[in-house]
Amino acid sequence: MPELAPFSASGQFWRGNLHTHSTMSDGRLTPQQVIEAYKARGYDFVQLSEHFLKFFNWPITDTRKFRSDDFTTIIGAELHALATSVGEYWHILATGLPLDFAPCGDDETPAAIARRAADAGAFITLAHPAWSQLTIDDGMSIDAAHSLEIYNTGCSVENDRGDGSYLLDQMLNKARRLTCIATDDAHFHTGDFDAFGGWINVKAEKLEPDALVAAMIRGNYYSTQGPQIHSVSIDDNIVSVSSSPVNSISLIGGTSRTSTRLGKSICSARLDLAELEHSFAPAPPSPWLRLVIIDEHGKRAWTNPIWLDEL
Q: What was the pLDDT predicted at 279?
A: 64
Q: What pLDDT score does 121 carry?
A: 98
The amino acid present at 149, given as its one-letter code, is E
DSSP state for residue 175 in the 8-state scheme: T
Contacts within 8 Å (CB) and 24+ apart, 138-141: 138/84, 138/85, 139/167, 139/170, 139/171, 139/176, 140/171, 140/174, 140/176, 141/110, 141/111
Cis peptide before 6 (omega within 30 of 0): yes
Which residues neighbour 22 within 8 Å (Cβ) at sequence distance 6 or greater?
29, 30, 31, 33, 34, 48, 50, 61
- Range(s) within the chain of domains with CATH label 2.60.40: 229-310
Does residue 24 have a pLDDT over 80? yes
Domain with CATH 3.20.20.140 in the chain: 12-223
Q: What's the topology of domain 12-223?
A: TIM Barrel (3.20.20)
Are 221 and 202 in contact, with CB atoms under 8 Å apart? yes
**Given a cut of 90, is residue 276 above it in pLDDT?**
no
**pLDDT band at residue 67, thresholds of 50, 70 and 90?**
very high
Q: What's the pLDDT at 37?
A: 98
CATH number of 229-310: 2.60.40
SS3 letters for 5-60? CCCCCCCEEEEEECCECCCCCCCCCCHHHHHHHHHHCCCCEEEECCEECHHHCCCC
pLDDT of residue 285: 86
Q: Tell me the one-letter amino acid at 217.
A: I
Q: Is the pLDDT of residue 1 over 90?
A: no
- Tell me, what's the pLDDT at 284? 79
Express each pLDDT in 206-241 by its tens digit: 999 999 999 999 999 999 999 999 999 999 999 999
Q: Are 174 and 162 in contact (CB under 8 A)?
A: no
**Separation between Cα atoms, residue 157 and residue 106, nearest integer Å:** 33
